Chain A
């Protein structure tokens, strides 16, 4: 008896949907929780993607997720917390992770963000290879890009919108800044992914470089905090 392949694709899609809902729930602040919950949601989403991956694409998906997890952890080490509410709160008071000293921690944060964006590009480029044509499929791909960039922005350019200022100029400015950061991060990741789609042999080098940068960033943020 053989595995019913249609059933397998169904379960893979279900895993992607469950992972996306799970991660979005924590990133959008609907439920309070730790950064590891977001990584878990991304892992469930990656599991679904890996089922449909051909050749060694699943290794690239897993490797880029691992690098992304390390970069997010680097942000957590910077603030010495993995709690999303505390990450947002610290940035709301002191400013975005990227802009807050000491210099070593800020440099590590920039390095981590770059590594994270590169890893996300590799993930998106690899995921795109197994996608059939179609608007819905493209829309789902962009949704996954938004999820990854939201995770990066939450850790490196996040912050709560000040209470009571919603509707006021400060509140809208903060919201606009947050959305712009997501668009910039997501746009960079998507642009990188589209570039890698046409030059897939560079994936290994990009991923290896991102991994090295992520480890260096982790060392900087963990020691400089």
Chain B
């Protein structure tokens, strides 16, 4: 039944297509049912990876690939279902195609099939994304991914696609960074597609980061803090901030502590999904978003930031320690402070539209983030605090104290001046149209990617790796 976990999403997409011509109510119900099934498939993929399911064809169900893939596709389907009344059936169907492609690419054991499935997913995402700037983003990312795959094959003289190091990993880091930054240029609309693009980028880094890389960890940590500081100084909080901040932090942890990379990718997927739902959560979603932005204890964000900081500290204090790791070890805890301030501003920033399903989905995402934060062993991570009974008891006690404090203050606060609200975030600007030359350049890059993939496939067939 492993094939269901891989191909189930594209089957859901195919089953949705006949509903494209139906009435509005039928279309919505069809999308909602497919989304529920898609979320369950994503969760099942995570569980299968943890349990060490059998291989299927060229796919290996290893946790480092299936955990991030499962979270990303589940988050994308959750967003699709929450916005079922607003999303087109064709976009939902393409979500299914892209989800299957992503799963097969990330869990693939060999370079060529993984690359082919990745490009299939990109093609589906490009059709769903529906604008040239977004195509450009996908083309640049895929070019970097393709370059990394070719370098891996040539340098390592292997067709296997386990962990990657050196120049190929640097190329993957570029591909991941371009995708993770998708929200910075995405513009409004196509939210589920944005989740697959941005979350897929971090999942790519998670699946293939074979070794800790000082430069990459330092760059991404610095970018995350720069994003936070810029947002705070310019008083700009919005979905772009949430998604970019979460993606950058997750990438930093992928390269600082590869063992924590699956959890980092999972946390990034949850953050990007929360960002996608933000514009539709007027009145009720602020606290949930805030807790996911802030990377505070009891959430997945704290698990990854503290895990990355501890790993960097240990490398910095071993014999011949690197100053770069010392800087990462200091910057990541500083990110906790920045996250606290960002979270508070996010909590006080409202949204323009009210969609009850989106609010419910945001709280589901927070529930998943807390589940991973309190019990990281659920996703195969020991976590900074371990999983002793005392630690669990303290976390639960803190959670109870938090809920009790919240309820108590709500009853007492009628005589107290309420905190100042910041109003809804500014409208996300639409992605700018590309100049003519840039469009030709993007087309050229895409063509090169196709040619390189074809060359690699032919080379692989010649040696008979299939």
Contacts and interface: CB of A to CB of B under 8 A. Distances in A.
A50 B310 contact: no
Given A9-B409, A31-B390, A41-B297, A66 B338 contact: yes
Interface string A65-86: 1100110010011001110000
A81 B314 CA distance: 8
A11 B421 contact: no
Interface in A1-54: 1-22, 25-26, 30-34, 36-37, 39-41, 43-44, 46-47, 49-54
A6 B340 contact: no
A14 B409 contact: yes
A36 B350 contact: no
Q: Which of A4, A13, A32, A52 has most B Cβ within 10 Å? A: A13
B286 A10 contact: no
Contact of A14 (B294, B336, B405): B405
Interface residues of A, number: 62
A218 interface: yes
Contact of B384 (A12, A34, A51): A34
Given A33-B391, A34-B310, A25 B397 contact: yes
A21 B341 contact: no
Contact of B354 (A1, A44, A80): A1
Contacts of A58: 341, 344-345
A15 B295 CA distance: 13
Nearest to B405: A17
A143 B317 CA distance: 34
Contacts of A59: 232, 341
A13 B344 contact: no
Contacts of B399: 18
Interface stretch (B9-17, B213-221, B327-335): B327-335
A54 to B, nearest CB: 6
Contacts of A171: none
Interface string B145-174: 000000000000000000000000000000
Nearest to B410: A10
A17 B294 contact: no
Contacts of B348: 3, 8, 51
B347 A10 contact: no
Query: Which among B295, B393, B413, B421 has the highest number of chain A CB atoms within 10 Å?
Result: B413
Nearest to A6: B413
Contacts of B354: 1
B287 A8 contact: yes
B414 interface: yes
A52 B399 CA distance: 20
Interface string B368-409: 000000000000000011101011011101110111111111
B410 A6 contact: yes
A50 B232 CA distance: 12
Nearest to A51: B344
A82 B313 contact: yes
B362 interface: no
Given A13-B408, A73-B330, A22 B419 contact: no
B460 interface: no
A14 B330 contact: no
A222 interface: yes
Contacts of B403: 14
B329 A10 contact: no
A104 interface: no
Contacts of B390: 30-32
A62 interface: yes
A179 to B, nearest CB: 23
Interface string B91-134: 00000000000000000000000000000000000000000000
Given A9-B418, A43-B294, A82 B402 contact: no
A46 B340 contact: yes
A18 B402 contact: yes
Interface of A: 1-22, 25-26, 30-34, 36-37, 39-41, 43-44, 46-47, 49-54, 58-59, 61-63, 65-66, 69-70, 73, 76-77, 80-82, 132, 218, 222
19 contacts: A1-B283, A3-B421, A9-B413, A9-B419, A10-B413, A11-B287, A13-B409, A15-B402, A18-B405, A31-B394, A32-B388, A44-B297, A47-B294, A51-B347, A53-B419, A58-B341, A65-B336, A66-B338, A73-B333
Given A18-B405, A62-B341, 15 more contacts: A1-B354, A2-B350, A6-B413, A9-B410, A16-B405, A18-B297, A22-B395, A22-B398, A31-B388, A40-B302, A44-B298, A51-B347, A61-B341, A62-B338, A73-B330
Interface of B: 232, 282-283, 286-287, 290, 294-298, 302, 306, 309-310, 313, 316-317, 326, 329-330, 333-334, 336-341, 343-345, 347-348, 350, 354, 384-386, 388, 390-391, 393-395, 397-399, 401-410, 413-414, 416-421
| A-B CB proximity, top 6 nearest | A5-B418, A14-B406, A18-B402, A50-B344, A17-B405, A62-B341
